[in-house]
């Protein structure tokens, strides 16, 4: 329906244009036309005031006319004051006709309305949000950078930290761009979890995976309970946030990863670590680079699950659970 309206819009554009273009504002009335229109009323007023002509009547109401015009006059947006002396009215230079910014408060323009400031957008967390990138890049040894990076989050119990190779990151990023949404099973007790799926070992609570790419060298992965996402969609609060930093990929051939597990959301650090392992199983793969037959078939199976979920047809949760429980 919307498309039909859009297609029909040009058809009615020309008639509407013609209709509006034919409306021309009337020209102002001349003095003689005004006198002719209000001839009877003017004659009555002239008789009451003893005036013999319209000009004489206008002269009689001269003071009142001036007062009405002054009262209905629209003030200018800012004050314009002549700075020339009254004894020299012939002065007409621009500098002598416009007041300076130091005019008195009564002559200056009224204060602008108090417009509330728009809050700044939340800053995207990248590598510079956690460390001094320039100082970190001065280290040439990969081991030194890894130790510094891990020490940065050593005293934070809800933090996740890792270092990846550029090859692994490129696989993850490529698959994440192609399949930006997925689900992963988190093992739960059979009596817990409102969105549990039965399996031989108990139950699994489904977690929703969403990838975003806010900057060139920054990739975010948000993990949210599937039930939470169904209830609140884009306003759902993720329980785990992973950030991949590729700032040192070209210079040091490594990518840094850190994450945060939100407290009081029924997700432990061990749960988050298990989900990160599952993420690698499904996103850190490329069947074309596998030389081993078994590894290539395994990569093809997991890639097929990503494709089926992306298409929304033929996806089997039991196959998903089996792959996550498989020891690589």
- List, for residues 79-133, the tens digit of each pLDDT value: 334 344 444 444 444 433 333 334 444 444 444 444 444 344 457 889 999 999 9
CA triple 158-161-166, angle to 5 deg: 155
Contact 195, 226 (CB under 8 A): yes
Contact 145, 254 (CB under 8 A): yes
**pTM for the predicted model, two decimal places:** 0.60
Residue 71: its pLDDT value, please?
56
- CA-CA distance, 324 to 328, in Å (whole number)? 9
According to DSSP, the residues that pair with 225 across neighbouring strands are: 207
- CA-CA distance, 134 to 138, in Å (whole number)? 7
Listed as ranges, residues in the chain with pLDDT below 50 are 1-26, 72, 74-121, 190-200
What tens digit of pLDDT does each residue of 274-296 get? 999 999 999 999 999 999 999 99
Give me the DSSP letters along 261-288.
EPTTSS--HHHHHHHHHHHHHHHS--GG
233: tokens are: 């969609």
Residue 206: its pLDDT value, please?
95
Radius of gyration of the chain (CA): 38
Sign of CA dihedral 264, 267, 269, 270: positive
Residue 29: its pLDDT value, please?
57
Residue 27: its pLDDT value, please?
52
Residue 202: its pLDDT value, please?
62
């Amino acid at each position: 329906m919307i498309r039909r309206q859009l297609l029909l819009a040009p058809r009615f554009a020309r008639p509407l244009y013609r209709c509006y273009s034919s409306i021309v504002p009337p020209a102002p009335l001349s003095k003689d036309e005004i006198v002719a229109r209000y001839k009877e009323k003017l004659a009555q007023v002239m008789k009451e005031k003893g005036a013999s002509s319209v000009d004489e009547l206008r002269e009689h109401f001269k003071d009142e006319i001036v007062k009405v015009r002054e009262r209905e006059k629209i003030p200018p947006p800012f004050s314009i004051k002549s700075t020339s002396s009254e004894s020299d009215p012939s002065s007409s230079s621009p500098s002598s006709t416009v007041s300076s910014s130091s005019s008195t408060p009564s002559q200056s323009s009224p204060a602008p309305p108090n417009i509330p400031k728009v809050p700044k957008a939340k800053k995207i967390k990248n590598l510079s949000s956690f460390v001094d990138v320039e100082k970190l890049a001065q280290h040439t040894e990969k081991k030194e950078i890894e130790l510094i990076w891990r020490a940065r989050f050593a005293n934070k119990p809800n933090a996740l930290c890792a270092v990846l190779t550029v090859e692994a990151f490129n696989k993850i990023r490529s698959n994440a761009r192609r399949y930006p949404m997925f689900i992963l099973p988190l093992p739960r007790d059979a009596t817990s979890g409102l969105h549990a799926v039965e399996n031989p070992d108990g139950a699994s609570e489904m977690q929703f995976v969403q990838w975003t790419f806010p900057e060139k060298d920054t990739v975010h992965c948000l993990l949210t309970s599937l039930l939470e996402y169904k209830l609140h969609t884009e306003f759902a609060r993720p329980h785990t946030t992973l950030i991949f930093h590729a700032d040192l990929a070209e210079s040091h051939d490594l990518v840094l990863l850190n994450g945060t597990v939100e407290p009081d959301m029924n997700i432990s650090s061990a749960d988050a670590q298990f989900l990160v392992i599952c993420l690698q199983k499904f996103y850190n793969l490329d069947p074309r680079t596998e030389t081993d037959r078994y590894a290539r078939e395994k990569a093809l199976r997991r890639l097929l699950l990503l494709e089926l979920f992306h298409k929304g047809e033929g996806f089997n949760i039991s196959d998903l659970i089996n792959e996550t429980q498989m020891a690589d």
